Chains A and B, each alone.
Chain A
Amino acid sequence: METLEKTHTKTIRRCEFSKCDTMIATVSFDATTCIWDKGGQASATDAEWDLVVTLEGHESEIKDVAWSPDGELLATCGRDKSIWIWLKEIDDQFECLDVLQGHTQDVKSLRWVPKTRALVSASYDNTIKIWNECNDEWLCTQTLDTAYQGHESTVWNLACNQEGSKLLSCDDTGMILLWSIETCDSSVELKLVSRNKVPSDFSIYSIDWASSGLIAIGSADNSISLLQLERSEGGAAGEEADKRGNEILKLVKEVKQAHAGDVNCVRFNPKDPNLLASAGDDELVKLWRINDILS
């Protein structure tokens, strides 16, 4: 085990491994993003992580970071309402390609749509925005607000399924919306499939979607829940609803008091969907075997 320390000066809000697992990006309330490198020895478990570069640009707290599916791009977002797109260059340097403005409040979360260069962002302004790329510029092509039957409170987190055909968004009042991801003229568009409410009214801070299809959420009521998609009986009929699957979320299992405090993050192991990691306000990181939770 290694501790990456003495670099960020304030809370580290999120971190993410690069697609080839040789780098980690960490983002902090100190307005910087740090890129850590495993020294090219991707397979060596005892390799040391070195700080490669510190990315500056955001004015204030950075709240999320995401590597693009092709591994070339990094997106960061935060309190200054902006999203920054960084291009990884050959010598481990990063160039800022674009700064996306559009949200009216802090941007809480970011996700790249699998297999594309389209980005989805979620905000304290209660909206979700879709950003499509054209010649290294990202344009907001869709804003999902209440007019789209979107969220009515802060949207905390987003998750795509592995195929990149569906997206989930969770909010401050325990709502989870399911969206279908549709591609039209190589531009990504979201359409609402269903609005789902978990039993508790607490914030859902984190959501993740395993390659197995299972969905995990972490909540401010200290619980972790496992969910899955289910075709709903009845509901909106017609060709359009049929095409989108008419699916809803079904609770599979709830682990009450998974942490002795808010559950801030849940993430499946990308290679082993039977493993789930969670982080809580009790200052613990817990590893869960899905089989054990379900049995």
Chain B
Amino acid sequence: MAAALDNENPLVRERETVVRRKDEGANRGALLGNYLGDGAYAATLQEEEGSDEREPIDSIEVFEHIRDIADPEHPYSLEQLGIVSHEDIKVDDVKGVIDVYFTPTVAHCSMATLIGLCIRAKIMRVLPSRFKVKVVLSKGSHSTEEAVNKQLNDKERVLAALENPNLLQLVNKCLAPTEAA
């Protein structure tokens, strides 16, 4: 198995503590306080009490949903491997647009499509369907960038892939860490 890895010694990063700046949703509470010292994420974002207004969804919220997705081959999360970061997520809540750019650890990574599929599946499952979601490789990050992007953004192919029991099993395995309480 180890010999088949595309990148045997990936660079592993620390789990980042993401702080929402004042101008990006000041009322969402101190996100920092929700993190325990060991990196475990204790609580999800709390809606402001007594408020009927919908909190806009931002890049940090999207990042929180996808940061802990497990890499298909390494025992690390997509965030730890630097595949996703909150700076590479663009969200326009008013227009209903989410663009996620991801960067495989190596340019010939054969798992790029599966990683993209996991990101897409996670967003489809947890965020409102009103969002138009684009999941693409960061520019120049992959040898078959165009082909992978085309496949990941063809919704017919994505839905069919998620109806394939073997693929679905792989996806669910990668998404399992994101579903922990």
| A38 interface hit (Cβ, 8 Å) | no
What total of A-B pairs shows CB separation below 8 Å? Answer: 33
On whether the beta carbons of A11 and B132 are closer than 8 Å, the reply is no
Contact residues in B for A221 (Cβ distance below 8 Å): 132
**B150 at interface by CB-CB < 8 Å:** yes
Q: Which of B66-74, B111-119, B154-162 contacts A (4 or more CB under 8 A)?
A: B154-162
A154 touches B160 (CB 8 A): no
A281 and B132 contacting across the interface, CB-CB below 8 Å:
no
Which residues 124-170 of B have a CB within 8 angstroms of A? Answer: 129-130, 132, 150, 154-157, 159-160, 163
Does any Cβ of B come within 8 Å of A10's Cβ? yes
Within 215-252 of A, Cβ neighbours of B (below 8 Å) are at 220-221
Say how far A10's CB is from chain B's closest CB, in angstroms: 5
Residues in A139-187 with C-beta less than 8 Å from chain B: 154, 172
A124 CA to B154 CA, complexed, in Å: 9
* Proximity string of chain A (197-209) to chain B, C-beta cutoff 8 Å, 1 when within and 0 when not: 0000010000000
Cα distance A13–B156 in the bound complex, in angstroms:
9
Categorize the interface residue count of chain B. 10 to 19
Q: Chain A contact residues: over half helix, strand or loop, or mixed?
A: loop
Contact of A63 among B130, B132, B156 (CB under 8 A): B156
What A residues does B159 contact at CB under 8 A? 11, 29
- Residues on B with C-beta less than 8 A from A282 are 129
A267 at the A/B interface (Cβ < 8 Å)? no
| A154 close to B154 (CB less than 8 A) | yes
Contact in complex: A29, B155 (CB < 8 Å): no
Indicate if the CB atoms of A262 and B154 lie closer than 8 Å: no
Q: Is the CB of B160 within 8 A of A11?
A: yes
A79 CA / B164 CA spacing, docked (Å): 13
Closest chain A residue, CB of each to CB of B151: A124
Given contacts A124-B154, A154-B154, contact A260 B130 (CB under 8 A): yes
Closest to A28 in B: B163
Does residue A261 face the partner (Cβ distance < 8 Å to B)? yes
**Are B132 and A220 in contact, CB atoms less than 8 angstroms apart?**
yes
**In whole angstroms, what is the CA distance A235 to B62 when docked?**
47
B120, chain A: closest CB distance, angstroms: 14
| Contact call B150/A79, Cβ cutoff below 8 A | no
Report if A108-B156 is in contact (Cβ < 8 Å); known contacts: A10-B163, A11-B163, A29-B163. yes
Task: Produce 1/0 per residue, A38-71, CB < 8 A to B.
Answer: 0000000000000000000000110100000000
CA distance A84 to B130 in the complex (A): 36
- CB of A45, distance to nearest CB on chain B (Å): 33
Question: Nearest B residue to A78 by beta-carbon distance?
Answer: B160
In the complex the two chains form, what is the Cα distance from A202 to B153 in whole Å?
11
Would you call B129 and A261 a contact (CB within 8 A)? Answer: yes
Closest CB of chain A to B160's CB: distance in Å? 5
Is B160 a contact partner of A79 (Cβ separation < 8 A)? yes
Q: List 27 A-B contacts (CB under 8 A).
A: A10-B160, A10-B163, A11-B159, A11-B160, A11-B163, A13-B156, A29-B159, A29-B160, A60-B160, A61-B156, A61-B160, A63-B156, A79-B160, A124-B150, A124-B154, A124-B157, A154-B150, A154-B154, A172-B154, A202-B132, A220-B155, A221-B132, A260-B129, A260-B130, A261-B129, A262-B155, A282-B129
The 5 closest A-B pairs by CB, nearest first: A61-B160, A10-B163, A29-B160, A29-B163, A261-B129
Extra inter-chain contacts (15) besides given A11-B160, A260-B130, CB under 8 Å: A10-B160, A11-B163, A29-B160, A61-B160, A63-B156, A79-B160, A108-B156, A124-B154, A154-B150, A172-B154, A202-B132, A260-B129, A261-B129, A262-B155, A281-B129
